[in-house]
Structure 1
Amino acid sequence: MPFVSPGKLPVRQRSLTEQVQEMLESLLWSGAMRPDDRTSIRELAEQHGVSAMPVREAVSRLVAQGALAAERNRAIVVPRLTAEEFSDLTEMRILTESHAVRKATPRITPAIMSELRALSHAFAEAMTSPGTDEAVMLNQKLHFSIYTASESRTLMQMISTNWLRAGPMISLDIGLPTRRMRNAHSVRAHAAMLDAIEARDADAASAALRSDIQTTADYILREVLRAKET
């Protein structure tokens, strides 16, 4: 997955660092980077055709946010949250994201709704295919398309930060074919949420969103995190 050609990048070092950070954030949000994945500054720099300095700065910012971890051997690791950490993160996600859905509901235009329906349909289709990376990406895109319609910059900053840690964990659920029966709940929850948004029922839309997040989190807690900790 190539990054921007160095020849087209702005001269300012800060701008280049920001672009590298945005690329890494996108990989974390979408679940393309999963818990326990390992890489290095040099590997990331070579992979995306940039120097080590902007990668190091971007990684340092993400380490400070808890989205990445740096080990003594210079390896960069996507951390696997404990059950307690993931439960706390889930609670914060429900608070912020359900509020974003409430704010977005009266602002969703017919054009946006058409895009959301297409994303929801594509997600449902992706869940039946052998590969799962596309399903993880479509899930994130659908959620963020709704939250963006809230027109709240503060909410989006909070949600985006939470998803840096949540995205890789969500991939543990969506990312395995054996768990697709559980993921059918997300397909139904997405449909219910969009129906409620279209009906301008903010309460029902928020409830569907909470059900989607909590059911996924409960599965990950029960089948992945607590099973690993016992």
Structure 2
Amino acid sequence: MAVHLEQMLQAAAPVSDLPTIERGSTLTEQVYDRLRHGLLVGMWDPGEKITARRICKDLGVSLTPAREAMVRLANEGALDVALNRTFSAATLTLAEYREIAKIRIALEPLAAEAAAPRIEKAQIQQLEKVNEALAAAIGEERFRDALLLDSEFHLTLYRASDQPTLMGIIDRLWLRAGPTRNRLSHNYRRSLAGYENHKAVIAALRAQDPVQARAVITRDLVDGTRRIIAHFETGE
């Protein structure tokens, strides 16, 4: 299913507070940032074609910055490139996904643990806002929006850890695996399992309990990973 980039980013803007595209010498960098964010949060399905012309139309830019941004993302492994030079969201094999998931489960709870004693009240309130928006999206079966909001919850939490090296590694893993998160089954997407896990994380953050924050994020990641692996194995 094709996704209109500008509409999706506008939908996510209240959460991520993305800057608008501005003309200038850094136009390629701005386009790169917008595309990168879209890949991080699972805006495109694995293998979904992403054309420079569509990016130009959605973001109101010329072909040159769009192509330059896409080539850069391809060099980083975030986009696949076919022999005819067409670009698409990365498609992982089961083995590749297992490896990335294993690393994520090891590292992301560390970020949650580090965030617990230092996260600010306003950041916790923002996480609550995102989580309630997630529940609303699930209830209305707006599953694409729900995935974006789930992504924003996790990335906002991890950034509150104030661990730039750790965040850089997590960021690169999400960039590679973001599209694969769309493989979650329809039944799982309709459940509030992630929402409830997030509520438990928020409670741990309010109590400044790093052990509990780490434990709940681990549970959340393991559950989601298990569901995606099941999809790989059964195709359902």
TM range (shorter): 0.7 to 0.9
Identity of matched residues, %: 30
C-alpha distance in structure 2 between counterparts of 1:166 and 1:107, whole Å: 28
Residues 63 and 130 of structure 1: CA distance in aligned 2, closer, same or farther (over 3 Å): same
Cα offsets for 1:118-162 (capped at 9, x unmatched): 211221221111321211111111111111111122222211111
C-alpha distance in structure 2 between counterparts of 1:37 and 1:85, whole Å: 18
What residue number does 2:94 align with? 83
Residues 1:227 and 2:230 are matched in the alignment = no
C-alpha distance in structure 2 between counterparts of 1:60 and 1:155, whole Å: 26
Of 35, 39, 44 in structure 2, the residue corresponding to residue 33 of structure 1 is: 44
2:143–2:189: 8 Å Cα contact kept in structure 1? no
C-alpha distance in structure 1 between counterparts of 2:150 and 2:68, whole Å: 29
Report the secondary structure of 2:84's partner residue.
coil
Residues 64 and 153 of structure 1: CA distance in aligned 2, closer, same or farther (over 3 Å): same
C-alpha distance in structure 1 between counterparts of 2:133 and 2:61, whole Å: 33
Report the secondary structure of 1:107's partner residue.
coil
CA-CA distance at 1:42 after TM superposition: 3.0
What residue number does 1:214 align with? 222
Unaligned ranges ≥5, structure 1: none
What residue number does 1:202 align with? 210
Report the secondary structure of 1:87's partner residue.
helix
1:41–1:55: 8 Å Cα contact kept in structure 2? yes
User: Post-superposition, which runs of at least 4 consecutive aligned residues in structure 1 deviate over 4 A?
Assistant: 3-6
What residue number does 2:13 align with? none
Q: Give the structure-2-normalised TM-score.
A: 0.85
Report the secondary structure of 1:92's partner residue.
helix
CA-CA distance at 1:76 after TM superposition: 0.7
Of 190, 197, 203 in structure 2, the residue corresponding to residue 189 of structure 1 is: 197
Of 147, 166, 178 in structure 1, the residue corresponding to residue 177 of structure 2 is: 166
C-alpha distance in structure 2 between counterparts of 1:169 and 1:35, whole Å: 6
2:111–2:166: 8 Å Cα contact kept in structure 1? yes
What residue number does 2:76 align with? 65
C-alpha distance in structure 2 between counterparts of 1:178 and 1:147, whole Å: 27
Of 112, 121, 124 in structure 1, the residue corresponding to residue 123 of structure 2 is: 112
1:16–1:54: 8 Å Cα contact kept in structure 2? yes
CA-CA distance at 1:80 after TM superposition: 1.9
C-alpha distance in structure 2 between counterparts of 1:146 and 1:179, whole Å: 22
C-alpha distance in structure 1 between counterparts of 2:150 and 2:20, whole Å: 28
Q: Which amino acid aligns with 1:217?
A: T
Residues 1:178 and 2:192 are matched in the alignment = no
Q: Give the structure-1-normalised TM-score.
A: 0.88
